[in-house]
């Protein structure tokens, strides 16, 4: 789910007319019990993936962790064995289904039961392998969300832990009038990662960014701008509020507080409702250290929902100094220079 199919395998697939990047698969099962389910799957169908696999030190277990829609199905043992080399003969995941970019979510079985049944009467336990929604509960889902696609949109807006790529999920690109939104100020939008034990190494999976992430970021900046100008940020009195992102000064917004101090605001927005991390440019990081407690971070989650979560962090410089937070370099720009 986290990684695309290996590039060599994708190249071989492309020669066969298969232009896919993500895949999952199921075994045929005893007496081929999974085959009819697989053959009933169609492009556009919605899939949720349950896992108890603890891939990371603070990875939640026993929950639905990924959401995607099917783009194509295929029965091909040879290709499946290339993608997932079998641990033993007869353990091929040959019932393949290809997917849109999977989006990381976190939905407990109790939550999924309340989402897709009228009274929480089913699906409150771990799924028993490869399974489909019953006709009765599919009808209930359609009555509540309009369609499986509507349900997927609801999941991505309310339970995603990373930006859903709007190239794959264009319905999330729809604009919402800021006058129709409400801000919920919280202190836990940015999750706290547990410290790694001495053995092993970090297994950081970078957050996948939407191909329209700038649009989301711009929307978040304008939203915070309105909150500050309208006096809607608890405990903040902001005068002379300016949007300065285009000036490349190292922050997006600045204002004068009640003590006459200039406060710098850097805004980070996401369609997800939780932040595992966020990115700063080297210029932004330097400004954070330079201005200390006058450099504030505003995180805006759920940028495509009507209820947006906002976390204001005023002490990130101190947290970095005290090693209560960590800034890790992700990319470096390499260029040749003349001597």
Residue range 166-190, pLDDT digits in tens: 889 888 876 666 667 889 999 999 9
Query: pLDDT digit string (tens) for 112-160?
Result: 999 999 988 889 888 888 889 999 999 999 999 999 999 999 999 889 8
Q: CA geometry: angle at 271 spanning 173 and 23, to 5°? A: 85
CB-hemisphere CA count at 13 Å for 64? 26
Consecutive 10-residue averages of pLDDT for the chain (339 residues)? 91 94 94 94 95 59 89 96 90 95 91 92 86 92 95 91 86 69 91 63 50 79 96 96 95 97 96 88 95 97 88 97 91 87
State which H helix or E strand residue 192 sits in.
none
Q: Within the chain, what is the greatest distance between any pair of CA atoms?
A: 75
State the pTM of this model.
0.79
How many Cα neighbours within 13 Å face the side chain of 73?
18
Sheet holding 239-243, edge to edge: 182-185, 307-313, 295-301, 262-269, 253-256, 239-243
Q: Which position has the token pair 């003969």? A: 89
């Amino acid at each position: 789910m986290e990684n695309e199919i290996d590039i060599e395998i994708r190249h071989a697939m492309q020669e066969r007319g298969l232009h896919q990047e993500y895949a999952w698969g199921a075994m045929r099962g005893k007496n081929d019990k999974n085959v009819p389910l697989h053959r009933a799957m169609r492009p556009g169908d919605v899939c949720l993936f349950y896992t108890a696999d603890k891939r990371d030190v603070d990875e939640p277990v026993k929950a639905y962790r990924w959401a995607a829609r099917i783009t194509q199905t295929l029965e091909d043992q040879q290709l499946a064995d290339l993608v997932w080399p079998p641990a033993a003969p007869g353990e091929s995941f040959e019932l393949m289904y290809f997917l849109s970019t999977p989006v990381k979510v976190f939905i407990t079985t109790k939550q999924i039961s309340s989402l897709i049944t009228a009274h929480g009467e089913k699906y409150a336990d771990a799924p028993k392998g490869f399974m489909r929604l019953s006709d009765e509960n599919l009808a209930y889902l359609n009555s509540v969300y309009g369609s499986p696609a509507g349900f997927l949109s609801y999941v991505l807006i309310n339970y995603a832990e990373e930006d859903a790529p709007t190239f794959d999920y264009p319905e999330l690109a729809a604009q919402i009038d800021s006058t129709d939104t409400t801000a919920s100020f919280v202190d836990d939008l940015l999750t706290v990662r547990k410290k790694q034990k001495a053995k092993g190494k970090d297994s950081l999976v970078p957050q996948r960014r939407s191909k329209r992430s700038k649009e989301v970021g711009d929307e978040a900046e304008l939203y915070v701008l309105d909150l500050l100008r309208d006096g809607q940020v608890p405990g903040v009195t902001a005068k002379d509020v300016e949007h300065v992102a285009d000036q490349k000064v190292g922050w997006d917004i600045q204002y004068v507080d009640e003590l006459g101090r200039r406060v710098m605001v850097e805004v980070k927005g996401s369609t997800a409702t939780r932040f595992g991390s966020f990115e700063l440019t080297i210029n932004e990081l330097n400004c954070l250290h330079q201005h200390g407690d006058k450099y504030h971070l505003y995180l805006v989650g759920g940028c495509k929902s009507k209820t947006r979560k906002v976390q204001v962090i005023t002490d990130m410089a101190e947290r970095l100094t005290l090693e209560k937070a960590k800034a890790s370099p992700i990319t470096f720009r390499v260029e040749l220079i003349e001597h």
